Amino acid sequence: MKFTLAEIARHLKGKIIGNPNLSILGVSEIQNSHPNTITFFSNPIYKKYLSTTKATAIIVSNENLLDGKNGIVVSNPQLAMGETLKLFYPEKRKPHSGVHSTAILSDDVKIGKKITIEPRVIINEGSFIGDGSKIGSNSVVGENVVIGENCKIFPNVSIYDDSVIGNDVVIHSGTIIGCDGFGYVKYENVHKKIPQKGNVIIGDCVEIGSNCTIDRATIGSTVIGEMTKVDNLVHIAHNVKIGKGCILTAGFGIAGSTEVGDYCTFGGQVGVGPHLTIGNNTMVAAKSGVTKSLKGGKIYAGYPAREIEEHNKRLALINQISTLRKKVDQIIKKD
């Protein structure tokens, strides 16, 4: 692929600074850049690389940042970078290839048009795969599963019975959807299993990373709202409801029956307790532990999680102890 700076600028609806005829052969990171590529500047911690980058052009939000270099000015350089990547690496849209001869589909499985069922996929009784969806090699789809349109299920995914997956959903390798909730009741020193008879419902445009585990509900449904994005190694327990447009970062875990609102963001390795309610637009810093319901619209941190200002204040208080001790010792001495 090869584009001129002008062609890229037109694609991004950005303003060209410098030579519009520059030839760009690829894309590179600003901190690890190569000649004949275009890069972008967005995260201020990489500011020092603006002057040293080997890239031929830089996508920026403000002309002054270029300081005489060639570039393109746009309102959102990160978004523009995504668009530039799509230009240089157009999605390899392989033609749908139908059902591979080694796939095993139960007789009553219904499949839509233009689908791809890769080698060794297994799809059990009563399941349905919508138009344009692709199921990756060695994935196993249980009974009575519904997978919507234009989904992309990567290899080695396991989907248990009764799961309902919307349209345009992406699920990466090793993820397990609909496994049993961790529900036991102790009786005479034995943990008796509570049957897990609900299911999992995943909304449209959800993306789920690798090696996640999403438990089915005991009764009813575990729900992940539309447009929510889930990183790797995330655990979602039975009967949890996640709203729409949330971000669940790697290592996040949430316990049973908690309900999370819309547009919430949870940092890496955060844990959330059971039976809580988390309001819309909640942000929780990495590694925090949420033990109480949160109203939402705020940033929380720590364990137990508090509003971040309060959390930071508590951390700062510890710094005051040695000063306090010195003062007290001086008072005692003076007496």
Out of 81, 147, 151, 202, name the contact with a second copy by CB under 8 A: 81
Pick the closest to residue 274 from 293, 294, 287, 295 (CA basis): 293
Out of 12, 16, 17, 27, name the contact with a second copy by CB under 8 A: 27
Cα 147-139-103 angle, rounded to 5 deg: 90
Binders of a second copy in range 273-302 (CB under 8 A): 273, 275, 286-287, 289
Query: Residue 314 CB, nearest distance to a second copy (Å)?
Result: 6
Out of 2, 108, 192, 297, name the contact with a second copy by CB under 8 A: 192
Secondary structure of residue 205 in the 3-state scheme? coil
* Side chain identity at residue 252, one-letter code: F
Chain Cα centroid distance, residue 271: 16
Out of 63, 98, 219, 309, name the contact with a second copy by CB under 8 A: 219
Residue 43 interacting with a second copy (CB under 8 A): yes
Out of 60, 233, 278, 283, name the contact with a second copy by CB under 8 A: 233
Those residues whose C-beta lies under 8 Å from the C-beta of residue 85, and which sit 6 or more positions away, are 27
Token pair, residue 19, equals: 């030579």
Beta-strand relationship, 199-202 and 164-165: parallel
Binders of a second copy in range 135-164 (CB under 8 A): 136-138, 140, 154-156, 158, 160
Site map (CB under 8 A) of a second copy, residues 305-334, x = contact: ---------x--xx-xxx-xx-xx--xx-x
Residue 231 interacting with a second copy (CB under 8 A): yes
* Active-site residue, 311 included: no
Q: Determine the Cα–Cα distance for residues 94 and 15; give it in Å rounded to an integer.
A: 34
> Between 20 and 307, whose beta carbon lies closer to a second copy?
307
Secondary structure of residue 241 in the 3-state scheme? strand
Distances from the Cα of 21 to the Cα of 96, 136, 261, angstroms: 38, 42, 48
Residue found under tokens 């030579």: 19
Encode 283-315: b = buried (16+ Cβ within 10 Å), e = exposed.
bbbeebebeeebebeebbbbeebbebeebeeee
Out of 14, 209, 261, 296, name the contact with a second copy by CB under 8 A: 209
Query: Residue 20 CB, nearest distance to a second copy (Å)?
Result: 23
Residue 184 interacting with a second copy (CB under 8 A): yes
> Between 95 and 190, whose beta carbon lies closer to a second copy?
190
Query: Binders of a second copy: how many residues, by CB under 8 A?
Result: 103
Residue 76 interacting with a second copy (CB under 8 A): yes
Out of 255, 264, 284, 294, name the contact with a second copy by CB under 8 A: 255
Residue 253 interacting with a second copy (CB under 8 A): yes
What is the residue-wise DSSP string for 243-286?
A: -SS-EE-TT-EE-TT-EE-SS-EE-TT-EE-SS-EE-TT-EE-T
Query: Residue 66 CB, nearest distance to a second copy (Å)?
Result: 20
Q: Of the residues 34, 238, 275, 311, which is catalytic?
A: 238
Out of 35, 98, 119, 297, name the contact with a second copy by CB under 8 A: 119
Binders of a second copy in range 89-108 (CB under 8 A): 89, 91, 102, 104
Out of 10, 235, 295, 298, name the contact with a second copy by CB under 8 A: 235
Query: Residue 64 CB, nearest distance to a second copy (Å)?
Result: 23
Binders of a second copy in range 53-72 (CB under 8 A): none
Pick the closest to residue 212 from 249, 245, 244, 161 (CA basis): 249
Pick the closest to residue 305 from 318, 288, 293 (CA basis): 288
Residue 174 interacting with a second copy (CB under 8 A): yes
Query: Which amino acids are annotated catalytic?
Result: 238
